[in-house]
Amino acid sequence: MNNITGIDISIIAPLYNEEQVFSQLIERLQSVIDKTPFACEVILVNDGSSDNTAALIEEICLKDSRFTGILLSRNHGHQLAVTAGLASVRGKQGAMIIDGDLQDPPELVNEFYKLLQQGYDVIYAVRKNRKESFLKKMAYAVYYRLQKKISSFNIPIDSGDFSMLSRRVVDNMSMMPEQSRYLRGMRAWIGFKQIGYEYDRDERHAGETKYSWSKLFELAFNGIFNFSDFPVRIISRLGLITIFFSLIYFVYNVYRKIYYNDVPHGFTATILAIIMFSGVQLLSLGLIGEYVLRIYNQVRNRPLFIVDKIIQDGRENPAGIV
């Protein structure tokens, strides 16, 4: 068994009502970490399950000291469960995040670790295929592409939370205090050397998906609103466009009035007032939105920049957090 003080990689798995897949998960994880040439710990986060998951976690953690259990007070949602895991990482080299339903093969820890050794800070898994319903696949495809179009920086398409993060990425992520977390976006935002790794996403081994459509939408909204100014900017753009067209309409009506005199009395003025002021209102909303956006960005309290290295006293320190 590995020495706890010499942990290299922490494997994090969030679990919400996963008693049906639990024993398979533990078997797979144990057979993986028995063989890795580096030392691993496993952090199992119970996200307020209402089934037997918590008791199962306690049991395995008492039996096998390579397993750590974090039991949350209630269901916090997948992203916060992973965040809780990240906060407890003792792996000196970093962490790997997997789903607890074995859709993400834990065996890949070896391949990811090789890439980590080659100097990559983030190795994110990219799904070659999806074994979900047609409707979900379509929704994912549209969402990822939309997000790519409107995000202010590059969030890779078709990659989820399954990834390995270097220690400094783990630390930087833990320092980002934002409440509505979208880990794959935050991971991309942090930067450093990142690389995608294509894999076949397995089917859930047992149990049902814990991501309802409403949870998926919440995640998608976090992805869009936390990482793009587009929704706010579009309001003022719409306002400007409306005003522009109302002016054209005005000119056209004046022309009709003068040359044909076929415009009913009072009609133009009413329509014009409605369109024009709708435009003005949209524009004003957009302007207020700009301020709200700036306040929002500020209160999010993200670190302003991430330092790659520090050269000090004639030495180079691979600094993660400064």
- Residues within the interface to Mg ion (CB under 5 A): 99, 101, 103, 204
> Which pair of tokens denotes residue 277?
């002021």
- Answer for the pair 172, 321: CB distance below 8 angstroms, yes or no: yes
Helix (H) or strand (E) holding 44: strand 40-46
Q: Would you count residue 199 as binding ligand UDP (CB under 6 A)?
A: no
Q: Would you count residue 14 as binding ligand UDP (CB under 6 A)?
A: yes
DSSP label at 229? S
Minimum Å distance from CB 285 to ligand UDP?
A: 34
Q: Would you count residue 101 as binding ligand UDP (CB under 6 A)?
A: yes
DSSP label at 300? T
Nearest 5°: CA angle at 144, between 138 and 146? Answer: 100
Nearest 5°: CA angle at 280, between 275 and 286? Answer: 125
Q: In this structure, is the dihedral angle defined by the CA atoms of residues 150, 154, 159 and 162, taken in order, positive or negative?
A: negative
Binding letters toward ligand UDP, positions 39-78, x by CB under 6 A:
--------x---------------------------x-xx
Q: Would you count residue 85 as binding ligand UDP (CB under 6 A)?
A: no
Q: Would you count residue 210 as binding ligand UDP (CB under 6 A)?
A: yes
Q: Would you count residue 209 as binding ligand UDP (CB under 6 A)?
A: yes
DSSP label at 212? -
Minimum Å distance from CB 293 to ligand UDP?
A: 29
Minimum Å distance from CB 166 to ligand UDP?
A: 23
- Give strand pairing partners of 70: 45
Cα dihedral: 71, 75, 76, 79 (round 10):
80
Q: Pick the closer one to ligand UDP by CB: 209 or 297.
A: 209
Q: Give every CB contact of residue 301 below 8 A, 6+ residues apart in sequence.
A: 177, 178
Say which entry of ligand UDP, Mg ion, none residue 211 contacts (CB below 5 to 8 A, set by partner kind).
Answer: ligand UDP
Rg of the chain, C-alpha, whole Å = 26
Say which entry of Mg ion, ligand UDP, none residue 66 contacts (CB below 5 to 8 A, set by partner kind).
Answer: none
Minimum Å distance from CB 25 to ligand UDP?
A: 9
Q: Would you count residue 223 as binding ligand UDP (CB under 6 A)?
A: no
Size, binding site for ligand UDP by CB under 6 A: 17
Which residues of this chain interact with ligand UDP, rule CB under 6 A? 14-16, 18, 47, 75, 77-78, 81, 99-101, 103, 204, 209-211
